[in-house]
Amino acid sequence: MYHFVIADNRKCVGCFACIAACTEAHRAAGLQGYPRLHVTRTPDGIMPIQCRHCEDAMCALVCPVHAITHKEDSIVLNESLCIGCKMCALACPFGNILPGGTPVPGLELNLGQYAFLNTPLDPDPMYLREQSYQEQLSLLAWNIGQKTVAIKCDLCYFRENGPACAEACPHKAIHLVDDKAGLPDELILRMKETARVTGGTK
């Protein structure tokens, strides 16, 4: 079974703690200082979404330089090999791969690795910064001299405690699903209930 992170929209309050933790964890590890997940809001709820680590991942199939590969029950991206062609982002059926890159030295940038920190210089609400962040990482966005690479969830493979988002969530809405943990019983029951209501199973 491939490992992945899943969120419970009944527990998520949209506090963006997961995004802040993800950004800081990767920046500290020397990787691109962007979050590997994004918060989505619908009339039915709010929750973060990220790479599903598909067993038949289309992103790995279309990558021309094999920067995305299957490794240890997950889909791994090698940022040093990525050429920023955005083929993986186009192939992902969930839209969970976005382009990003370190800003050109000397240019001011109010988004990216510092976009999710509450400081006196950024008094605007978090959700507005999230919207601006999405615009910055549009497939059509580009900056002269800035190398663009794919940004996707890597399950924080460099951390002993696992994904930073799951550890930072104050409401325990985010769970790592692997061979040991599996899905929380409460979430399994909800999925079965939803399937019955929609006519998926009996």
pLDDT confidence tier of residue 33, bands split at 50, 70 and 90: confident
pLDDT at 113: 42
For residues 160 and 122, the model is more confident at 160
For residues 23 and 118, the model is more confident at 23
54: Cβ–Cβ under 8 A, 6 or more apart, which residues?
2, 75
For residues 193 and 84, the model is more confident at 84
pLDDT at 59: 94
pLDDT confidence tier of residue 121, bands split at 50, 70 and 90: very low
The fraction of the chain above a pLDDT of 90, given in percent, is 23
C-alpha distances in Å from residue 168, one per residue of 43, 74, 95, 152, 189:
25, 21, 24, 18, 25
Q: Where are the alpha helices (DSSP H) in the chain?
A: 17-28, 58-62, 87-91, 126-136, 164-168, 185-197
Looking at residue 67, its amino acid is: A
Q: What is the DSSP string of 2-21?
A: --EEEE-TTT-----HHHHH
For residues 32 and 156, the model is more confident at 156
End-to-end CA distance of the chain: 25
pLDDT at 165: 94
- For residues 68 and 61, what is the distance between their CA atoms, to the nearest angstrom? 8
Per-residue pLDDT for 32 more than 80? yes
Q: Which range has highest mean pLDDT (63-67, 142-146, 170-174)? A: 63-67
Average pLDDT for residues 33-48, to the nearest whole number?
A: 83
Average pLDDT for residues 147-175, to the nearest whole number?
A: 90
Taking all residues of the chain, what is their mean pLDDT, rounded to a whole number? Answer: 77
- For residues 126 and 118, what is the distance between their CA atoms, to the nearest angstrom? 8
Cα Rg, the chain, nearest whole Å: 17
pLDDT at 111: 47
pLDDT tens digits, 61-112:
999 999 999 988 889 999 889 998 889 999 999 888 888 776 655 554 444 4
